[in-house]
């Protein structure tokens, strides 16, 4: 019951993001089947959007995977935070359940700290499966709506808006701001030189700037 309630709470955000992602994917060369299967398999809108955008721009496999993984780097932190609740679970659950780690499921589970053992398994699979179902339906809806829309050369701006929505909460720290500013400045310039590596070059420069600024900050 708690799992259903938690899935319902995140459904509006999942629907709008998923439909927009589906419409964007429908306008690319990725393919509808790949776009739809990607929803439950990648199980991360930001990673799928990054991978789709870069694939459409002709980027190589390494750039696509590195960018998608980097966008999802926070999953490592979620993985570390959820590890104690997964540690005494059967191996099958660790392998399958880990796939459902994402922003919504992590935050939902953190709000229910009392659940452990079989109780946690049932809750986690319910939330993860429910989010996957809503997410896949939303992306599928966007994919079927996309071809009926008129030609929209500026549709990639919808992706940029989504990325902005994910970026702004990460700009609270000065180091995060430095990383973003340097990355935003370097990426378009690098894209002019090597189109398929622009995003990766920008991201690397941004991470370097963030680390350099962190070193200069006095220890607290």
Partner 1 sequence: MNGLAYLLVVAVGCWLLRLTFIVFVPPDRLPPRLSGSLTHAAPAVLAALVSAGVVQTMRADRPGVQVVALGCLTGIAAVAAARRSLALSAGLGLATALLIDLLLVR
Residues in 16-75 at the binding interface with partner 1, rule: CB under 8 A: 16-17, 19-20, 23, 28-31, 33-35, 37-38, 41-44, 46-48, 50-53, 55, 57, 61, 64-65, 67-75
For partner 1, the binding residue among 126, 129, 140, 163 (CB under 8 A) is 163
Residue 1 or 137: the one with the smaller Cβ distance to partner 1 is 137
Helices marked H in the chain: 2-26, 32-42, 45-56, 61-71, 74-87, 91-97, 103-110, 117-145, 156-167, 174-193, 198-216
Instruction: For residues 216 and 74, give the distance between their C-alpha atoms in angstroms, rounded to a whole number.
Output: 24
For partner 1, the binding residue among 8, 9, 76, 122 (CB under 8 A) is 76
Q: Which two tokens stand for residue 120?
A: 């946690």
Segment interacting with partner 1, rule: CB under 8 A, options 110-118, 119-127, 128-136, 201-209 = 201-209
Closest distance between partner 1 and the C-beta of residue 213, in Å? Answer: 9
Segment interacting with partner 1, rule: CB under 8 A, options 7-15, 114-122, 125-133 = 7-15
Instruction: For residues 69 and 34, give the distance between their C-alpha atoms in angstroms, rounded to a whole number.
Output: 18
Contacts of 131 (CB under 8 A, 6+ apart): 7, 10, 14, 100, 102, 104, 105
Site string for partner 1, 98-127 (x = CB under 8 A): xx-x--------------------------
Give the footprint of partner 1 on residues 128-157 (CB under 8 A).
150-157
For partner 1, the binding residue among 161, 174, 194, 217 (CB under 8 A) is 161
Answer whether 205's CB lies under 8 Å from 184's CB. Answer: no
Instruction: For residues 105 and 124, give the distance between their C-alpha atoms in angstroms, rounded to a whole number.
Output: 8
């Amino acid at each position: 019951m708690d799992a259903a309630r938690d899935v319902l709470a995140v459904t509006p955000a999942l629907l709008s993001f998923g439909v927009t992602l589906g419409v964007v994917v429908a306008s690319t060369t990725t393919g509808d089947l790949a776009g739809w299967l990607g929803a439950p398999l990648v199980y991360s809108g930001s990673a799928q959007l990054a991978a789709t955008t870069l694939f459409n721009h002709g980027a190589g496999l390494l750039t696509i995977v590195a960018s998608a993984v980097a966008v999802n780097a926070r999953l490592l932190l979620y993985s570390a935070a959820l590890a104690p609740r997964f540690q005494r679970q059967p191996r099958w659950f660790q392998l399958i359940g880990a796939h459902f780690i994402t922003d919504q499921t992590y935050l939902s589970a953190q709000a229910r700290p009392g659940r452990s053992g079989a109780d946690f398994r049932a809750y986690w699979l319910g939330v993860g499966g429910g989010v996957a179902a809503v997410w896949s339906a939303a992306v599928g809806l966007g994919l079927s709506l996309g071809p009926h829309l008129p030609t929209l050369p500026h549709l990639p701006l919808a992706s940029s808006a989504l990325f902005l929505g994910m970026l702004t909460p990460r700009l609270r720290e000065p180091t995060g701001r430095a990383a973003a500013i340097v990355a935003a400045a370097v990426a378009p310039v690098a894209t002019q030189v090597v189109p398929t590596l622009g995003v990766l070059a920008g991201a690397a420069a941004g991470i370097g700037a963030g680390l350099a600024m962190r070193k200069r900050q006095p220890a607290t």
